[in-house]
Chain A
Amino acid sequence: DVVMTQSPLSLPVILGQPASISCRSSQSLVYSDGNTYLNWFHQRPGQSPRRLIYKVSNRDSGVPDRFSGSGSGTDFTLKISRVEAEDVGVYYCMQGTHWPGAFGQGTKVEIK
């Protein structure tokens, strides 16, 4: 099975400053159709996960443009250009290329 490894697992950030989360997969996430099914989710306490990014770098509708995704193959990054208070919570990467799908361990973002 594919293993997704995120770092860091805890990320204290200062409001208005940038933040970056890394996600690495144990196998290439390029699918036979040429797409790379790497997603990013944000989960606030007591809420369901919300998808932010799909296919590495595509922002979902309503997601602020301070969020961006990048990467290829096995290495991926989620960046927040200027952290706002509403961005706290846990961020998960998830691969949908291989069966079974797999999530990273999660990165907890909190305000310093």
Chain B
Amino acid sequence: EVQLVESGGGLVQPGRSLRLSCTASGFSFGDYTVTWVRQAPGKGLEWVGIIRSKTYSGTTEYAASVKGRFSISRDDSRSIAYLQMNSLKTEDTAVYYCTRGRREPDYWGQGTLVTVSS
């Protein structure tokens, strides 16, 4: 069974950092692009960024709203993707989801809530 489990969310002050993890199971993790999507409370879905598989050089792309502050990495040996979030702002408050795939994300995790507040 394909599963994605996010972790690492919590309450953090503006300007601080947080790292989220996405632990995958049930499929060959290294063969897939991982996408991070977020959803602010009561709002819609927003693309955050992607990390491609090693087949495609493991390159990353980011939404303009997080570029330069967020970075995505992966450890295929452990089937984990990471979202490193620096210089957090109050507007980054959201549930963060990881998904499998980029053009047709099929499986999603349950999400982890990040609250940025003083």
Chain A contacts to B: CB under 8 angstroms? 31, 37, 39, 41, 48-51, 54-55, 60, 92, 94, 96-97, 99-106
Contacts and interface: CB of A to CB of B under 8 A. Distances in A.
A101 B110 contact: no
Given A48-B110, A48-B111, A49-B108, A92 B44 contact: yes
Contacts of B46: 103
Nearest to B102: A96
A54 B99 CA distance: 15
A39 B104 contact: yes
A105 B43 CA distance: 8
Contacts of B103: 31, 37, 96-97, 101
Contact of B104 (A37, A49, A99, A106): A37
Q: Is the interface of A mostly helix, strand, loop or mixed?
A: loop
B108 A101 contact: no
Contact of B47 (A37, A60, A102): A102
B45 A96 contact: no
Interface of B: 35, 44-47, 61, 63-64, 97, 102-106, 108-111
B45 A99 contact: no
Given A94-B45, A103-B45, A48 B102 contact: no
A96 B61 CA distance: 13
A99 to B, nearest CB: 6
B44 A39 contact: no
Contacts of B110: 48
B108 A55 contact: no
Given A39-B104, A49-B108, 4 more contacts: A48-B111, A60-B106, A92-B45, A100-B61
B44 A101 contact: no
Contacts of A105: 44
A101 B97 contact: no
Nearest to B44: A106
Contacts of B61: 99-100
A62 to B, nearest CB: 12
B50 to A, nearest CB: 8
